[in-house]
Amino acid sequence: MQIEAVRGDITTQDVDAVVNAANSSLLGGGGVDGAIHAAAGPRLLEACREVRRTTYPDGLPVGDAVVTPGFDLPARWVVHTVGPNWNRGQRETADLASCFTRSLERAVEVGAASIAFPAVSAGAYGWDADEVARIGVAAARAWQGSTERPDEDGHTHPSGIALVRFVLFSAPLLDAFERALGAPHR
């Protein structure tokens, strides 16, 4: 499995699934959430309302994830996850790690082989970019290690996801993820 970080717009990524840093209502918001809803079109909001009506009437819990179609996005799927809000005292690193792990699990369930993540909780939710990067990259690597299976020749192959791409909208966020990945600093 390849893990990379790029600067860009998550709504334009040519991947099977994009992750939405959603709020628990799933009904849109600002930042990444608003951008994904705007780019996916009004059917995304309809799908999220249906998820709320049928599966999560009280809202999606922090650290969990749910999938909807991508509609007008290049990505086939949107994986919505609710990060912990540092500003509201939600400071458990395990909850943040769960956002990444549950999103990967949900993506595999729908057959995605590539996924793009934003810096979940690093924006309006107030988490430090370096902490989000460290946790996100560690979660992806741990998940990769837990899903790789050796073949008869001893070579390992990941089951499901072939590409995890962290798509960051600013240079400071990209720098944080490059540090976490151990990439050469620009």
> Contact 118/10 with Cβ under 8 angstroms?
yes
Residue bearing tokens 């990505």: 75
Q: How many residues in total does the chain contain?
A: 186
Strands lying side by side in the sheet with 163-168: 2-7, 163-168, 114-117, 17-22, 77-82, 65-69
E runs forming strands in the chain:
2-7, 17-22, 65-69, 77-82, 114-117, 148-150, 156-158, 163-168
Query: Rounded to an integer, what distance in angstroms lies between the CA atom of residue 9 and that of residue 36?
Result: 10
Cβ(135)–Cβ(141) below 8 Å: no
Among 9, 14, 16, 33, the active-site one is: 33
33 as an active site residue: the answer is yes
So which residues are the catalytic ones? Answer: 33
